[in-house]
Structure 1
Amino acid sequence: MMLNKEKNFVSAVIYIHNAEKRIERFLDMIIGVMEGNFEHSEIICVNDCSDDSSVDAIKKVSDQAKTTSISVINMSFFHGLELAMDAGMDLAIGDFVFEFDNTNLDFDQEMIMKIYRHSLTGYDIVSSSPNKKEKLSSRFFYKVFDRFAENSYDMTTESFRILSRRVINRISSMNKTIPYRKAIYAGSGLKTANLKYDVKVDGSNYVDAKERRYKSGLAVDSLLLFTDFGYRFSFWMTSLMMLISVFMILYTVIVYVIGHPIEGWTTTALFLSVAFLGLFGILTIIVKYLQIIVDMVFKRKHYNFESIEKLTK
């Protein structure tokens, strides 16, 4: 029966990369929530070039779906979370769209409906985060990001979120090549909220080398694109080099006036080391900026998928 079920059409986009040990349980829960609470729903699984049996597990669980449409987007090669989720979001047609950045089931399923109902109170973006201490690397990244960002983003580690169609339409009008969705959402100007949940089980899960390298690169790109971290670094290194130069000039004059010049090989080597360190730091940032600009301007085709499989009607 459809009595008391939500009339809104909802989509769930799930990022999957080598998740064969988790996807069956996770997808089974998502199907239960969708069919138990919504008259019309769809689930889009984005397979980011998994080399395990993740797709077979998805097909196995999809047989349980009765009213929910389930599709799989098979990416042509490993794209990473951001571009892969872009592919899923472009296919989603729901009035509201859930984004699941991983298949780590460390929350109660009631949390999904909790953020949905919270969004109905006037929030276009509602995210959900584990109520536990963040990893040191994550704390450092968000602290640096917030410190050097022009606007106050106040971001944190998120497991999943819900977006209204209004925010999706607004984001789609922006440059899709910008790599960090959370910063785009936070800077969209629409009303956002974050709800915490108590971790049900140990939420740690294996992250392979591809994902680790991707996340490290994403962090660097995001700091350069959305903050003035690169400019500040260049500015302070340049200032430091200038101070050292002034000190060396004063030192040279004093030694000359006193009349006891000393061969300053150590001082010269130190100065050259610091100077070249700063110079190469500045050049590295400039090169990185140029690389990002080239990617944004000239790489028009943002993602490639091999196929789209419709598993249910």
Structure 2
Amino acid sequence: MEDYSRNDLISVVLPVFNEELGITNTIETLEKYVQSQPEDYELIFVNDGSKDKSPALIEQAQKKYDNIKFVQFSRNFGHQLAITAGIRYTKGDAVVVMDADLQDPPTVIPKMVEKWREGYQVVYGKRKARDGETFFKKFTAKMFYRILDSMAKIHIPVDTGDFRLMDRQVVNVLDQMNEAEPFVRGMVSWVGFKQGAVLYERHARNAGKTKYTLPKMMRLAMDGITSFSDAPLKLANVLGATSMILGVLYFLITLFTGFSTLTFAVFLMLFLSGCIMITIGIVGYYLFRVFEESKKRPLYIVAKTSGFENNNHPEV
């Protein structure tokens, strides 16, 4: 077991997108927490193209607290890339990723740090309750985690989001993974190392509305599945084989019994067409991911930074 010092630096990465209603409370709550801890903390806020006053409020807080650091994207690049960028700006011996809406309570961090000191290199928050969310959101999230874990070639813990602590060694490996469409929680599972969970109750938002709309949730689900599983491609093969078997059965029925109905023919045609379109869609999504990777564009563009030493950091 490594000998950790109480003077360790813990970096906290917080993606921000239109959180002006709650960002001040988040900053004050976090600062009150870190001042009571034995470790040193740096808070790295990554503004993911907010259109409200979130950036101004963060910059205002920097005048009061010298441990706040700020990374501002040139536009909205997405939650997962905001996490990716924030991680790359950290200097801590361990890095905590959490949302800026306080749904993931800072009071869980000491438990994560404790397990980290026990030798765990990844400590993820596992939700035992989700307050303030609709039945639909809870049900779809529960199903997604279980479907993803069953389909993926690696074990991705269920009921976990991006709220986690990672050792510097893990962060250094993640820094080398330059994926255009990152699925961070899957990537953290993929790198391995000793990983453990801390159970907690996820709070309701203290202000504002969730930024993860249904389309964004579906996109995240597709990114997760296609990043770590080839099951959809195998499903395309199954659909193709099923279509072929139904076609043969229909041919045999009409050949030996003379049975022929327009309804069944229309059903078969629509079913086959559906299978073809689904297959094309699945293959197309995988090709899209390959296409995105092949362009080699910067993952994100940083418009400016503040709070860092000399602000000497890469802008892409």
TM-score under structure 2 length normalisation? 0.86
Greater Cα radius of gyration, structure 1 or 2: 1
**Preserved CA contact (<8 Å) 1:127 1:193:** yes
Give the whole-Å Cα distance in 2 for the aligned partners of 1:309 and 1:175: 24
Give the whole-Å Cα distance in 2 for the aligned partners of 1:194 and 1:101: 18
**Preserved CA contact (<8 Å) 2:19 2:208:** no
Pick one of 127, 147, 160 that aligns with 2:124: 127
Give 1:141's aligned residue: 144
Give the whole-Å Cα distance in 2 for the aligned partners of 1:200 and 1:263: 60
Give the whole-Å Cα distance in 2 for the aligned partners of 1:200 and 1:148: 29
Give 1:19's aligned residue: 19
Confirm or deny that 1:49 pairs with 2:52: no
Give 1:84's aligned residue: 82
Confirm or deny that 1:156 pairs with 2:159: yes
Match of 1:218, SS state, is helix
Superposed displacement of residue 165, structure 1: 0.4
Give the whole-Å Cα distance in 2 for the aligned partners of 1:106 and 1:218: 19
**Preserved CA contact (<8 Å) 2:22 2:208:** no
Give 2:209's aligned residue: 206
**Preserved CA contact (<8 Å) 1:80 1:214:** no
- The verdict on how the C-alpha distance between 1:242 and 1:105 changes in structure 2, with shifts beyond 3 A counting, is closer
Give the whole-Å Cα distance in 1 for the aligned partners of 2:158 and 2:57: 33
Give the whole-Å Cα distance in 1 for the aligned partners of 2:295 and 2:189: 26
Q: Percent identity among equivalent residues? A: 22
Query: CA offsets per residue over residues 93-140 of structure 1, 9 Å max, x none?
Result: 111111113422463x43211211111101111122342157111111
Match of 1:246, SS state, is helix
Give 1:70's aligned residue: 68
**Preserved CA contact (<8 Å) 2:48 2:78:** yes
Q: CA RMSD in A?
A: 2.5
Give the whole-Å Cα distance in 2 for the aligned partners of 1:89 and 1:154: 21
Aligned residues between the structures: 300
- The verdict on how the C-alpha distance between 1:168 and 1:282 changes in structure 2, with shifts beyond 3 A counting, is same
**Preserved CA contact (<8 Å) 2:116 2:122:** yes
Unmatched tracts of structure 2, length 5 or more: 131-136, 311-316
**Preserved CA contact (<8 Å) 1:125 1:161:** yes
**Preserved CA contact (<8 Å) 1:129 1:159:** no
The 4+ residue runs of structure 1 with deviation greater than 6 A are none
Give 1:258's aligned residue: none
Give the whole-Å Cα distance in 1 for the aligned partners of 2:247 and 2:239: 12
Unmatched tracts of structure 1, length 5 or more: 256-260
**Preserved CA contact (<8 Å) 1:138 1:157:** no
